[in-house]
């Protein structure tokens, strides 16, 4: 077997399963003949051959060393200009067969018809030393037949956010697509950031995304909506081989159950770290159970189930933090409808869909119990007394502006002896810095918080958990560092002035989110007041 480690770019061998196993757009890639790419409806195909559009001056400004290693590349490769040329879309390596996927989707609850990769172009698929096959995809690489009225490009601000969040989520233990590189293009891209009639030029950039599969729920929906059962079956067979190889090809019900389970588990992860995706359309959920498409995302600062970072969703708040688990189930129902022709029986599909609720609720109960250091042994249900304790805590956190990340991290530092303190104000004092307006808490709120802390102490005693064991367990699941929107925006502001060091600093901080990092306390601070209404910190759009 060939050595898959320490490879140069020339050593990469592309094994393009998606394009080998599924039908291509019958219309040839116009760029092969020098013609312009035109948006159009594509029928009977899973993808279109599409070359990246060259950029003026590709320059690598950040990369993930972990992804370089995952792909089996030599660390020295990133120092070459060829790396910037390839992952900026200017050069293709032998074996690369660039393409854009065809898919549809429900957007904000409404069927949108054909969507597709409007600015993402996959370069091809390689085998890695320890992570199976991985597809390399450029986001912002130019127009495709699915670009509709857009230019296929991406701006620096959104590319920084995608690059950093992909890696931050991975290190948090959340299933996600990865990011290999962030390349500045040297071109300007015009965007209307808030859709308010004020377009302006911004620096362009391209992220190379990496995943075992980029297939979404919407890939199935487009074939089903068009009555194309033959290609629907081909796609499902491919998806099973790639994402669930333990199943026999043709076990569509077993595969759907696996997607249900993976999606439920993903929602537990999102909720436990306070992540809000912002645009959970069916074309933005992957069958692999990995987070995909980092657009108007955010981490909740103060615990607010009703918060959404997406300005487009500000009125209805369909994709707000607390509604994400329900929206995932709604999206799964659309996937079930799409693959119904392959199963031919609604009852078992409905049973698989119904299992989502129990799996999610069980996982969430376990996750919150772990966040307060009282998780039961593996395989055992959360005791009712612990579930009642976590439920009352989540209710409590919504009553006053409380920083979710800081609260849970600090709770692990409070020793059992302190929880017996009789004075209410003294008892809650260690949590003061988790509140955004500690002086505005009412006497009743302080009393309610104190009562909860004393009940918590009693439950610790009942379970016989030591301070050291509880602290260790809680710090393993409660991050100290998350990619707060204001931190990402600070990095963006500096980058737009030509200073990229904060991107690398944040990348390094988020590499160890559960560890104390002396000297980096500023990255674990509450959202500052100036960030409450600042564009990019509290308000984000899909514009990129």
- For the segment 24-42, what is each residue's pLDDT rounded down to a tens digit? 999 988 777 778 889 999 9
Indicate whether 538 belongs to any domain: no
The pLDDT value given to residue 532: 85
The residue from 25, 29, 117, 283 that is catalytic is 283
The pLDDT value given to residue 197: 78
Q: How distant is the alpha carbon of residue 510 from its chain centre? A: 14
* Cα–Cα distance measured from residue 110 to residue 186, given in angstroms and rounded to the nearest whole number: 37
- C-alpha distances (whole Å) from 197 to each of 86, 200, 314, 517, 538 are 35, 10, 18, 43, 20
179, 198, 218 - which closes a domain: 218
Indicate whether 57 belongs to any domain: yes
Indicate whether 439 belongs to any domain: yes
Indicate whether 228 belongs to any domain: no
Indicate whether 530 belongs to any domain: no
- For the segment 210-258, what is each residue's pLDDT rounded down to a tens digit? 999 999 999 999 999 999 999 999 999 999 999 999 999 999 999 999 9
| Domain residue limits at 207 | 9-218
* Distance, first Cα to last Cα, the chain: 42
454, 477, 500 - which closes a domain: 477
The pLDDT value given to residue 1: 54
Helix (H) / strand (E) element for 67: namely helix 65-70
Number of other CB atoms surrounding residue 424 within 10 Å: 17
- DSSP output for 78-94: GGSHHHHHHHTTS---T
The pLDDT value given to residue 115: 98
Classify residue 522 by burial, with Cβ atoms within 10 Å: 0-12, 13-18, 19+. exposed
- The alpha carbons of the chain give a radius of gyration, in whole angstroms, of 24
Indicate whether 501 belongs to any domain: no
Indicate whether 310 belongs to any domain: no
The pLDDT value given to residue 385: 95
Positions in the chain short of pLDDT 50: none
195, 218, 241 - which closes a domain: 218
* Cα–Cα distance measured from residue 177 to residue 292, given in angstroms and rounded to the nearest whole number: 6
Count of structural domains within the chain: 2
* Cα–Cα distance measured from residue 86 to residue 71, given in angstroms and rounded to the nearest whole number: 15
Indicate whether 329 belongs to any domain: no
The pLDDT value given to residue 194: 67
283 is catalytic: yes
């Amino acid at each position: 077997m060939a050595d898959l480690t320490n490879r140069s770019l020339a050593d990469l061998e592309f094994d393009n399963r998606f394009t080998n196993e599924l039908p291509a757009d019958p219309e040839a890639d116009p760029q092969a003949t020098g013609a312009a790419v035109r948006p159009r409806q594509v029928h009977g195909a899973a993808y279109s051959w599409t070359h990246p559009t060259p950029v003026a001056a590709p320059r690598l400004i950040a990369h993930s060393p972990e992804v370089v290693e995952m792909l089996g590349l030599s660390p020295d490769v990133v120092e070459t200009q060829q790396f910037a040329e390839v992952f900026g879309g200017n050069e293709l390596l032998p074996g690369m067969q660039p393409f854009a996927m065809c898919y549809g989707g429900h957007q904000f609850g409404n069927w949108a018809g054909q969507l597709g990769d409007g600015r993402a172009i996959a370069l091809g698929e390689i085998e890695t030393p320890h992570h199976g096959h991985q597809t390399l995809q450029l986001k912002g690489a130019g127009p495709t037949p699915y670009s509709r009225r857009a230019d296929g490009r991406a701006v620096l601000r959104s590319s920084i956010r995608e690059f950093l969040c992909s890696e931050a989520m991975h290190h948090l233990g959340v299933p996600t697509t990865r990011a290999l590189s962030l390349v500045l293009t040297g071109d300007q891209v015009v965007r209307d950031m808030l859709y308010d009639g004020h377009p302006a030029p911004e620096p362009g950039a391209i992220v190379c995304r990496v995943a075992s599969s980029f297939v979404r729920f919407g890939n199935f929906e487009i074939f089903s909506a068009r009555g194309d059962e033959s290609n629907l079956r081909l796609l499902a067979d491919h998806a099973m081989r790639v994402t669930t190889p333990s199943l026999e090809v043709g076990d569509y019900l077993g595969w759907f159950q696996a997607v249900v389970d993976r999606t439920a588990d993903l929602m537990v992860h999102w909720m436990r770290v306070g992540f809000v995706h912002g645009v959970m359309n069916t074309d933005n959920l992957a069958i692999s159970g990995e987070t995909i498409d980092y657009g108007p995302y955010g981490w909740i600062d103060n615990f607010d189930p009703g918060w959404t970072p997406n300005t487009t969703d500000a009125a209805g708040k369909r994709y707000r933090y607390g509604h994400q688990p329900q929206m995932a189930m709604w999206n799964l129902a659309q996937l079930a409808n799409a693959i119904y022709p392959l199963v031919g029986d609604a009852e078992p599909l409905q049973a698989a869909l119904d299992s989502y609720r129990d799996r999610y609720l069980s996982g969430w109960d376990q996750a919150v119990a772990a966040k307060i250091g009282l998780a039961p042994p593996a395989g055992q249900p959360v005791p009712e007394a612990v579930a009642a304790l976590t439920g009352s805590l989540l209710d409590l956190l919504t009553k006053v502006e409380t920083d979710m990340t800081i609260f849970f991290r600090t709770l692990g530092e409070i020793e059992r002896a302190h929880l017996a303190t009789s004075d209410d104000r003294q008892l809650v004092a260690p949590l003061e810095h988790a509140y955004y307006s500690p002086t505005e808490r009412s006497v009743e709120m302080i009393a309610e918080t104190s009562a909860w802390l004393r009940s918590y102490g009693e439950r610790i005693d009942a379970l016989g958990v030591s301070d050291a064991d509880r602290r260790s367990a809680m710090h393993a699941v409660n991050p100290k560092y998350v990619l707060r929107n204001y931190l990402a925006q600070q990095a963006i502001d500096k980058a737009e002035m030509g200073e990229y060091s904060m991107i690398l600093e944040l990348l390094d901080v988020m590499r160890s989110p559960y560890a104390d990092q002396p000297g980096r306390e500023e990255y674990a601070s509450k959202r500052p007041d100036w960030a409450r209404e600042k564009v990019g910190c509290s308000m984000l759009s899909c514009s990129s």
